């Protein structure tokens, strides 16, 4: 795989994961590019086959309901991509769109109705919401058994206790990358930069759990952390989710680290689009130091939707007792 301005080749996904225990490479080796786009396609094909098997046994397809309030362009794109992904794997999807002026009480009543609908397996409400609608109320109104985003406090608590639960999609996607590329994490020091409820905090919990991937010593850094480089230089696994373009520079990463860049930021350029996507990590400077690194785009982003589809399948099976 050739990245812009670089000449690093990734192993094909079917060769790179699942066959070998992870070892830090010698410094002359090029890093393995963690190809989330290709991996997400593999997962979609797996789910497509699973849906076909379920339907051949006489079951209905999984059903995901996505709710979009307002006209945020990024949110519209995210929801459209989720609906398209559902169609590809054979899920039924319902998109409910409402204006910015939607009353909070109406949305909460709609969620209660969807909770009671036996034909609905997963419910997601695209964030952010208009200021007059409480995201906390919305998240807590969705039934934990239909909480495909894994944001309900009950599911967060179950996750923290290492009990079965739908996991927040982006952290779950990060773990799936580590798992499928055969990166052994036990005993490693993971540093997570960013402590949001959507990515940073849950991925810190997941990497510390007694699972594989997991069993790491975890340091969580955030905007108030002093001397960030002191912490990142100790990371065997570095996860960065801040939304700050190029925050992580080469002098902040130790040789052989696994770097997971969650950032997706637009910067202006002279292309036809007028912009390009970059991460929170200075890819061209950092990549030569790494054993493994995710690109932006094509790394963590595609895995978020793949994980959402996996959560939907998990909830669907629970509902039907499969």
> Structurally, what CATH architecture does the domain formed by 168-301 represent?
3-Layer(aba) Sandwich (3.40)
Q: Which listed CATH number (3.40.50.10860, 1.20.1630.10, 3.40.50.200, 3.30.565.10) goes with 61-143?
A: 3.40.50.10860
Catalogue the active-site residues.
82, 126, 149
pTM: 0.89
pLDDT in tens, the chain (322 residues): 333 333 333 343 444 444 444 444 445 579 999 999 999 999 999 999 999 999 999 999 999 999 999 998 889 999 999 999 999 999 999 999 999 999 999 999 999 999 999 999 999 999 999 999 999 999 999 999 999 999 999 999 999 999 999 999 999 999 999 999 999 999 999 999 999 999 999 999 999 999 999 999 999 999 999 999 999 999 999 999 999 999 999 999 999 999 999 999 988 888 778 888 999 999 999 999 999 999 999 999 999 999 999 999 999 999 999 9
pLDDT of the residue at 13: 41
pLDDT of the residue at 172: 98
Residue spans in the chain of domains classed CATH 3.40.50.720: 168-301
pLDDT of the residue at 271: 78
pLDDT of the residue at 14: 42
Return the HEC string of the chain: CCCCCCCCCCCCHHHHCCCCCCCCCCCCCCCEECCHHHHHHHHHHHHHHHHHHHHHCCCCCCEEEEEEECCCHHHHHHHHHHHHHHHHHCCEEEEEEECCCCCHHHHHHHHHHHHHCCCCCEEEECCCCCCCCCHHHHHHHCCHHHECCCCCHHHHHHHHCCCCCCCCHHHHHHHHHHHHCCCCCCCCEEEEECCCCCCHHHHHHHHHCCCCCCCCEEEEECCCCCCHHHHHCCCCEEEECCCCCCCECHHHCCCCCEEEECCCEEEECCCCCCEEEECCECHHHHHHHCCEECCCCCCHHHHHHHHHHHHHHHHHHHHHCC
Residue spans in the chain of domains classed CATH 3.40.50.10860: 61-143
């Amino acid at each position: 795989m050739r990245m812009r301005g670089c000449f690093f080749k990734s192993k094909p996904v079917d060769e790179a994961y699942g066959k070998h225990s992870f070892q830090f490479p010698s410094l002359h080796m090029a890093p393995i590019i963690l190809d989330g786009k290709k991996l997400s396609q593999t997962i979609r094909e797996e789910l497509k086959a699973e849906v076909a098997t379920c339907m051949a046994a006489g079951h209905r397809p999984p059903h995901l309901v996505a709710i979009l309030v307002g006209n945020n362009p990024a949110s519209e794109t995210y929801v459209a991509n989720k609906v398209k992904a559902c169609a590809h794997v054979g899920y039924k999807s319902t998109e409910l769109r409402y204006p910015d002026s939607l009353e909070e009480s109406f949305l909460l009543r709609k969620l209660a109705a969807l909770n009671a609908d036996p034909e609905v397996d997963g419910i997601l409400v695209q964030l952010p919401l208009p200021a007059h609608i409480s995201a906390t109320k919305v998240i807590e109104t969705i039934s934990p058994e239909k909480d495909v985003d894994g944001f309900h406090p009950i599911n967060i608590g179950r996750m923290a206790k290492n009990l079965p639960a739908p996991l927040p999609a982006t952290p779950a996607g990060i773990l799936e990358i580590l798992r499928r590329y055969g990166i052994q994490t036990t005993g490693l020091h993971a540093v997570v930069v960013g402590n949001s409820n959507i990515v940073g905090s849950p991925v810190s919990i997941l990497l510390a759990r007694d699972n594989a991937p997991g069993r790491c010593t975890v340091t969580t850094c955030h905007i108030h952390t002093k001397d960030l480089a002191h912490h990142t230089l100790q990371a065997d696994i570095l996860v960065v989710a801040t939304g700050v373009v190029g925050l992580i520079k080469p002098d902040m990463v130790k040789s052989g680290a696994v770097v997971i860049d969650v950032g997706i930021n637009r910067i202006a350029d002279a292309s036809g689009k007028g912009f390009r996507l970059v991460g929170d990590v200075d890819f061209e400077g950092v990549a030569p130091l790494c054993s493994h690194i995710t690109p932006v785009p094509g790394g963590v982003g595609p895995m978020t939707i793949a994980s959402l589809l996996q959560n939907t399948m998990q909830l669907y099976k629970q509902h039907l007792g499969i």
